[in-house]
Amino acid sequence: MNKFSIQELVQEELKAVEAKLVLTSEKRSIEDPQLLTDLLQHVLETPGKLTRPAITILSSKFHSHDHDLPITMAGAVELLHIATLIHDDTVDDSSIRRGRETVSSKWGDKIAVLLGDYVFAASATMVCETNNVRVIKRFSETIMDLSSGELSEMSNSYNWHLTKAEYNQRIYYKTASLFSTSSESGAILSGAPENIIQSLKNYGYHLGMAFQIVDDILDFEGNQDQIGKPVGNDLRQGTITLPSLLLVEKYPKDNPIEKLCKNRDIETNLVEAISAIQNSDIMAKSYEIAKDHCSQAKSALSPLPNSKYKNCLIELADYVMDRQY
């Protein structure tokens, strides 16, 4: 089963999610500025892979429920993801997202920050439609996690002393928290028993950790046209990820990462660090750590009854490992 067939299983629900996003991009009243409509259409009319909404919907399939609630939650999850992308692109000074100019590139940083804030608020408004206090609270905590992750990344720029524990906490905040909330909320809104909720929450956590680790790996070995940024861009911006940590661990006394962090303006230091990571066993070791998280994600599904939806979640873990962008 590939990514397309995974989404095909919940195709109708994902169409309903996309319809909710379209409604969000439409004017609420004549008082709303046309600029807001233009901005929302720019970021919402080109859908992404919808991985997180698919997880929410799939996680709701193990107990009888009101089918509208997971769709609403899936829409909120995707809006939250889009809001983070708007802010991330602004912070990272990125020019392209999903094959289009970023908001910050097209309209400027100030407009991008304000639009990101608006979409954050729109996601919170949508999740309130679930009328589930537990889900709303977890969603709010996830927004705080996302901000904490970005602040941690910025405050540790060029910090070659970063520990694995600090790295793991950061990628949980930045990525795995939303994955975990996506799966947990789908289970909660379906009325599933607590043991199933916890199983799906753990699944989302490990899947999200693997997803971010693979993303960090692809920064060193991905195709620039596919990943949308130059190879080694994270390191170029001073972001220390798992491959860099493993290189420091491998050469504690004399490593290119330390040289780069101490003399970041020397291009040859960056080239040397990227080359050292690419031409070693570090990429394989990084993949092994991601693979372990995927294995734990699959194991977390053990209490769930066998079904096509469970198989789909298992295949999604395989997709995370195999993806190229």
- pLDDT above 80: residue 242: yes
Q: How far apart are CA 215 and CA 295, in angstroms?
A: 17
Give the per-residue pLDDT at 92.
84
- Residue 6 pLDDT more than 90? no
Provide the residue range defining the domain that includes 138: 3-322
- 108 and 39 Cβ atoms separated by less than 8 Å: no
Q: How confident is the model at residue 64 (pLDDT cuts 50, 70, 90)?
A: confident
**What confidence score (pLDDT) does residue 229 get?**
65
- Give the pLDDT band of residue 106 (cuts 50, 70, 90): very high
More confident residue, 159 or 94: 159
Instruction: Provide the token pair at 83.
Output: 């809001």
- Number of separate domains in the chain: 1
Helices (H) and strands (E) in the chain, counts: 18, 2
Per-residue CA distances from 79 to 53, 75, 120, 148, 167 (Å): 10, 6, 7, 19, 26
Please write the tens of the pLDDT for every residue from 15-30: 999 999 998 888 666 6
CB 174 within 8 A of CB 87: no
pLDDT above 60: residue 228? no
What pLDDT is recorded for position 5?
Answer: 65
How is residue 261 annotated by DSSP? H
Q: What local confidence, expressed as pLDDT, does residue 46 receive?
A: 78
Within a 13 Å sphere around the CA of 139, how many CA atoms are in the beta-carbon half? 33
Asked if 159 contacts 261 with a C-beta cutoff of 8 angstroms, the reply is yes
Helices 194-221, 51-59: inter-axial angle, 10-degree rounding:
160
Domain at 278, CATH number: 1.10.600.10
Tens digits of per-residue pLDDT, 168-190? 999 999 999 999 999 999 999 99
Mean of the pLDDT values across residues 157-164?
96
Report d(CA 117, CA 115) in Å as an integer: 5
Indicate if the pLDDT at residue 223 is higher than 60.
yes
Look up residue 253 and give its amino acid: K
Percentage of the chain beyond pLDDT 70 is: 94
Cα of 165 vs its chain's centroid, Å: 19
As a whole number, the mean pLDDT across the chain is 92
Distance CA(243)–CA(248), nearest Å, equals 9
Which runs of consecutive H residues, i.e. helices, occur in 26-132? Answer: 34-44, 51-59, 68-92, 103-107, 109-128
pLDDT at 317: 95
The CA distance from 112 to 288, in Å, is 37
Q: Out of 175-179, 207-211, 261-265, 290-294, pick the least confident.
A: 261-265
> Around Cβ 65, how many Cβ atoms within 10 Å?
17
Helix axes 194-221, 177-189, angle to 10 degrees: 150
Q: Work out the pLDDT band at 99, boundaries 50, 70, 90.
A: confident
The pTM of the full predicted model, rounded to 2 decimals, is 0.94
The closest alpha carbon to 241, from 124, 147, 162, 176, belongs to 162
Kindly tell me if the per-residue pLDDT of 226 is higher than 70: no
Q: What is the pLDDT, as a whole number, of residue 249?
A: 94
Average pLDDT of span 160-166? 96
What average pLDDT does the segment 52-79 reach? 94
pLDDT tens digit sequence for 274-315: 999 999 999 999 999 999 999 999 999 999 999 999 999 999
Helix (H) or strand (E) holding 182: helix 177-189
